[in-house]
Structure 1
Amino acid sequence: MATPHRNAPPPDGPTDADLVHRALEGARDGYCGLVDRHLPSLVGFLRYLNAPPPLVDDLVQETFTKAFGHLADYDPERPFTTWLFSIGKNTFYDHCRKHHREQKMLDAHPATRESATEGVEEGAVKRRTLEELLASLTEEERMLVQLRIYQDLPFGEIAQVLGDSEGALRVRFHRVLKTLRVAAGKEGIHEA
């Protein structure tokens, strides 16, 4: 049995399509419902793309502004999250290109800025090592891991966000996991 999607509406609540319809009618509750439901996952997605923390709020606002400006273009047969993440990703990339810092921002990862301190608890060391392992992946591989594991998106939606086939992404995802498992074993991290 499939697990419910993290951004799924409550059983008695409106669907994303209902909220979009309300927003297109000019109802404030439609816009607010979409923001309330999707804000946390959009923030997490932009952070995982390595958007600088001071910029995340601006990117979120710009993403929602663009989405709401083109709400009539949204296809209610497709997940709203996928559509919103695509807009967010493009907004971030546009910002990077505009400011000529794309490579620096995309390659920057919190693990590379941390310094080791003595007496760090074992869990923190493992977390930092995992972050370093993730930082060793390509941008697309990190995004794939983020969307599948942290955002809990199905491969079909990930294929829409990344513009690749579902089958190719499944294969790539399993190869990335295998690579991470091998590297984690070398670093002394073992699965629980």
Structure 2
Amino acid sequence: MQQLTDNALMLKVKSGDLDKLGLLYERHKKRLFGFFYNMNGNPSISEDLVQNVFIRMLRYRHTFTGEGSFAAWMFRTARNINYDHYRKHKKEANQAGLTSLEYRLEDEHGLENKMEEKDKISQLNRAMQLLTPEKREVLILSKYKEIKFSEIGEILGCSEGAAKVKAHRALKDLRTIFLQLEM
């Protein structure tokens, strides 16, 4: 029986050999399940809808002409089943859709924030490279390495107060360069 085409099997179902619908079910249940699962993301609803497709195909077997593709006829039926299901359960679908949409928006928002953060870091690195080596050194020691100003003063051969002033001026210059790069 496996040699029979889908069209031939459905024509046999149409003429009254209802057992052939079982062969069609075995051939196409996974494809239909995948279709419904991709549409709704719910495995149990998808299984139910696959069953409903074959029930409807049995009920409307007289409409199958055999001229076109069986798969096209079956998926047109599947689309109608899907549409009918969600029309009946519109409120539930809207809630699920909103939840899914909220999740996607949060995910997209998070991705957008990450990309923006990477851009800012790249821009900051470019601004740091445009500073004089002395100012870059002070900022690296104070902000990146978090060394105390008393120690920075020792490193630079100046007082703690002078190290703070140098770091403040370097930070001010960095801010100016950073903002210029933004434009």
Q: Which has the higher contact order (CA 8 A, sep 6+)?
A: 1
**Structure with a larger share of its residues in helix:** 2
Larger Rg: 2
Which TM-score applies when normalising by structure 1?
0.46
